[in-house]
Amino acid sequence: MKKILKKMKWKICLIFIFLFHLTYNLLWIQEKYVPLSDEAYYFLYSLKIYNNFPQNFLLIAFSIHPARLTLFPLTALPFYLLLGPSLSTTIIVEGFYLLILLISSYLLGKKLFGEEKWGFLLTLVISSFPGIFVFSRLFYVEFPLTALVTLSFYVLLLTNFFKNRKISILFGICLGLTALMRDTFLIFLGGPLVFIFFKILRRKKQLKNFFLAVFLSFLVASSLYLPKIFTLIKWNIAKFTDKGVWTIQQFNFLLPYYYLLRKISVFLSFFLLFSILFILKNFKQFFSEKNLILTLLVVIIPLLFFTFSPIKYLRYTLPSLPFIGVLIVYPLTKIKRFKKVIILLLILSGFLTFLLDVKFSLLFKARTYDTFLEIKETHINEILKEMKNGTILGIFNIHLVPTLEAYFELNKMNIQTILVYENNNPVLENVEKCDYLLIAPDWESGAYSKGKLEETSKVIELLNEKNSSLFNQFKIIKAIDTSSGSILLYKRV
């Protein structure tokens, strides 16, 4: 028995890490939390898929907007069927991907550094990153993408530069599944694939296996991308050329690096700095190992891409974090002096990072969720209890639309929502259709067009201007003061 436990000790520790984070996340979701923006959108789609099962669920799954093209919400269906749809169930869904990430990280560390202990240390470091343990409880697609990018990369290493045909086929399937998560997968895995392609360019057998893997990944991913390929291209061109949408973050080249520090924490950043200095000092030794070069590419290329990309969100470089973990662990596998002391400090730093984030929310400042938390604290049921099925709710806040739509879908309420400044219709025309209006703080952040911003401001003024047409049509039935401003609910008279 002792021999078995000794042999299994690192795997048992791995299971403990998984159960620890899963349990904490389940406890966390019971407290003050409301999904918002993209997270709520994915949650909403997962509910629509569930509510349309088994008749039209695939049609719903494949009708997702090209801006969020993914089959991630579909993967929640088996869990909803077993446990019922709820925010707690989304934690189990994310827990499934957390398990994939932890196992993949463990196997990756063992593959790169040759021993199980390094695989476990890599897993421990990665699970200590705020970017990992925070996003493991949020229903964003970037966390499943991180898990599958790590898994695909590990299988890529197993192909041994595509010498093994069977593993190459397996890699092609993994790459296709990763593509189904998000089209940004190529930002992370494209670099290693291009590097390998040029390395095997004159080796016919390996090149055949390479193209076989790419072809299989295309077959797997084509079900999602081919029907929407032209819409997707058109959307991405518009997204990257519409300066009115992205000017706030467009020229902030240092933002991805600031986000990186937030995602790995100040404490663990010192170990990353130590690693960088160690690699520079032992330049030839590091670059003599091809697998480590591939690892470095998964870090450098995404950072460069988002440095010059007009779109820079905190979560977008999340799939690079496991590979930053590899860079942090690498020097510890080589040094001889003070190795145990440094490893102990690394583990303590990770533990301290987790404790501080629990206490102070270092990654996500509380203000991000203030409006939405305070809506929940004042009981969203109470705010919306007068609304009957068939009514139309106009919303002045783009982030709140998917949140409320998910709430209605979860409670099977037939209430239509309209974002008043969306589409080509005049704002006033959209307002005229509504039975209720909900104005929440920070509504301006979604009114990208200057014309829409001015138009919406005028409508809000009319709602509060005595003797105006809108003032006589709507009255305030609920006003809630929050730290971000007032939440106002109007009802048509």
**Residue 418, pLDDT score:** 83
Q: Which two tokens stand for residue 53?
A: 């099962």
CA dist 245 → 21, 238, 306, 312, 442 (Å): 37, 10, 16, 12, 16
Strands 436-439 and 392-396: parallel
Q: Are 128 and 308 in contact (CB under 8 A)?
A: no
**CA nearest 298: which of 259, 333, 327?**
327
> Mean pLDDT per segment of 10 residues, for the chain of length 493 residues?
77 92 86 70 89 84 75 93 91 96 97 93 94 90 96 97 95 95 92 95 93 95 81 67 47 71 85 93 91 95 85 85 96 88 89 75 45 50 70 81 80 82 76 85 61 74 78 80 73 84
DSSP 301-368: HHHHHHHHSS---GGGGGGGHHHHHHHHHGGGGT--TTHHHHHHHHHHHHHHHHHHHHHH-SSS-GGG
**Residue 365, pLDDT score:** 44
Give the bridge partners for 392, in sequence order: 416
Does pTM surpass 0.85? yes
Whether the ω angle into residue 85 lies within 30 degrees of 0, i.e. cis, is: no
- Dihedrals phi, psi of 251, to nearest 5 degrees: -105, 10
DSSP 32: S
CA 38 to CA 263: how far, in whole Å?
Answer: 19
Q: Are 427 and 452 in contact (CB under 8 A)?
A: yes
* CB burial readout 309-344, b (16+ within 10 A) else e: bbebbbbbbbbbbbbbbbbbbbbbbeeeeeeeeebe
Determine how many CB atoms are found less than 10 A away from the CB of residue 457: 15
Overall size of the chain counted in residues? 493
Label residue 354 exposed, middle or buried (CB < 10 Å: 0-12, 13-18, 19+).
Answer: buried
**Residue 486, pLDDT score:** 73
**Residue 23, pLDDT score:** 92
Q: Which two tokens stand for residue 218?
A: 């295309």
**Residue 366, pLDDT score:** 37
The beta strands (E) that lie in 156-269 are given as none
**Residue 370, pLDDT score:** 45
DSSP 172: H
**Residue 301, pLDDT score:** 94
**Residue 176, pLDDT score:** 95
Q: Are 55 and 79 in contact (CB under 8 A)?
A: no
Residue type, 134: V
For the chain, what is the total number of helices (H) and then of strands (E)? 25, 5
Q: What angle do CA 457, 460, 465 make, to 5 degrees?
A: 120
The full 3-state SS of 75-113, as one line of letters, equals HHHHHHHHHCCCHHHHHHHHHHHHHHHHHHHHHHHHHHH
**Residue 108, pLDDT score:** 97
